[in-house]
């Protein structure tokens, strides 16, 4: 096992990220050039498959001219032909950021202390990151972080961590026309009486979200058939797929599917879907905040499937059944 230390210094804060490589192959000649691998960069981690970028995990805090400072999210997410699928700091909602998980309402003892969706009074402070390679060719980044807010301080007046997050992002080697990417998000409260909730309106959006580029020809598919997004959340089953001319290769169709694991609370979760200027979100818990008991970590599991061309409804049903059985 080889351990190295990666240091960031964003906005006058020294952030130590311990990167541990847990694969014997990296101790010798290194992985084959076409293998799935993980690279350390100044601001985060880059997954590479067969020489092409897969996704970048943003670990260091980032802002736009001092606004909407955030960390611990995915951008860019790349398609199989190298096209960028996600957006960061879009003009219509600068708080949206690639693939992210966030909530409007974060309350401790009935007091609202943060809005991680808007990145208001909130920051994820990354503590430790491990890179793990497996025998079947998968590569994962495990990130341990703390949620902090200036509205919750300890006895010395410094921000007190109120939740520990351990997130695993696991990338599978690409198959002929698709790639699977798993997210396992552990939320472990460090204080009593912690609640999280979505937007305080009839939309209730919040939780795992994907801010994807939305070409004009985007179309939606679910286990119930083709979908038309609506203003409020709709019931669409355990997965949705977006297909459009994302590709830079002569307008070729490409897409991204979001799969919800059967272990999720509220499964199957309702969906906020948008065909322009917004994100795609399996909603949990909605406008009414959910209690996260101390000592009982909540686990949220989602899978993204990035694909080339169309995926049929039957194929996506099969892929979801396989995911649910894992």
Cα separation, 180 vs 159, in Å, equals 37
Cα separation, 87 vs 298, in Å, equals 28
What is the per-residue pLDDT across 222-252, written as a single tens digit (0 to 9) for each? 999 999 999 999 999 999 999 999 876 666 8
- Cβ atoms of 203 and 272 within 8 Å: the answer is yes
In the numeric block, the tokens 């949220």 are attached to 300
In the numeric block, the tokens 């790349």 are attached to 78
In the numeric block, the tokens 């690409």 are attached to 174
Coil, helix or strand for 302? strand
Coil, helix or strand for 274? coil
What is the per-residue pLDDT across 125-138, written as a single tens digit (0 to 9) for each? 999 999 987 888 89
What is the per-residue pLDDT across 86-111, written as a single tens digit (0 to 9) for each? 999 999 999 999 999 999 999 999 99
Whole-model pTM? 0.89
What is the per-residue pLDDT across 162-189, written as a single tens digit (0 to 9) for each? 999 999 999 999 998 999 999 999 999 9
Q: For residue 128, how many other CB atoms are within 10 A of its CB?
A: 14
Count of domains observed in the chain: 1
CATH of the domain at 179: 2.70.98
3-state per-residue secondary structure call for 11-55: HHCCEEEEEEECCHHHHCCCCCCCCCEEEECCCEEEEEECCEEEE
Cα separation, 147 vs 163, in Å, equals 5
- Cβ atoms of 197 and 290 within 8 Å: the answer is yes
Cα separation, 122 vs 106, in Å, equals 9
Contacts of 156 (CB under 8 A, 6+ apart): none
Q: What tokens appear for 15 in the block?
A: 């952030």
| Residue 272 region by backbone torsions, left for phi larger than 0, else alpha for psi between -120 and 50, else beta | beta
The boundaries of the domain holding residue 46 are: 2-325
What is the per-residue pLDDT across 30-69, written as a single tens digit (0 to 9) for each? 445 558 999 999 999 999 999 999 999 999 999 999 999 9
Paired strand residues for 41: none
Cα separation, 101 vs 260, in Å, equals 14
Q: What tokens appear for 141 in the block?
A: 């980044």
């Amino acid at each position: 096992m080889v351990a190295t230390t990666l240091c960031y210094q964003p906005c006058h804060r020294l952030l130590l990220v311990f990167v541990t490589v847990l694969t014997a192959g990296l101790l010798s000649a290194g992985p084959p050039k076409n293998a799935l691998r993980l690279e350390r960069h100044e601001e985060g981690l880059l997954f590479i498959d067969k020489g092409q970028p897969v996704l970048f995990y943003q670990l260091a805090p980032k802002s736009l001219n001092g606004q909407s400072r955030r960390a611990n999210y995915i951008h860019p997410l790349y398609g199989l032909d190298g096209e960028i699928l996600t957006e960061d700091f879009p003009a219509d909602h600068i708080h949206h950021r690639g693939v992210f998980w966030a909530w409007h309402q974060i309350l401790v003892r009935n007091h609202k202390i943060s809005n991680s969706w808007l990145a208001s009074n909130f920051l994820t402070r990354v503590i430790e990151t491990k890179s793990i390679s497996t025998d079947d060719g998968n590569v994962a980044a495990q990130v341990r972080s703390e949620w902090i807010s200036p509205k919750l301080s300890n006895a010395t007046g410094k921000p007190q961590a109120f939740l520990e997050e351990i997130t695993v992002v696991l990338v599978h080697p690409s198959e002929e026309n698709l790639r699977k990417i798993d997210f396992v998000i552990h939320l472990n409260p460090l204080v009593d009486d912690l609640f999280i909730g979505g937007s305080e309106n009839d939309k209730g959006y919040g939780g795992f979200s994907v801010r994807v580029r939305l070409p004009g020809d985007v179309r939606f598919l679910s286990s119930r058939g083709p979908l038309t997004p609506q203003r409020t959340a709709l019931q669409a089953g355990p997965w949705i797929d977006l297909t459009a001319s994302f590709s830079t290769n002569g307008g070729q169709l490409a897409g991204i599917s979001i799969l919800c694991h059967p272990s999720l609370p509220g499964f199957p979760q309702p969906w906020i879907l948008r065909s322009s200027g917004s994100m795609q979100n399996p909603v949990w818990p909605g406008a009414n905040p959910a209690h996260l008991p101390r000592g009982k970590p909540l686990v949220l599991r989602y899978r993204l499937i990035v694909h080339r061309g169309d995926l049929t409804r039957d194929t996506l049903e099969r892929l979801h059944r396989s995911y649910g059985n894992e």
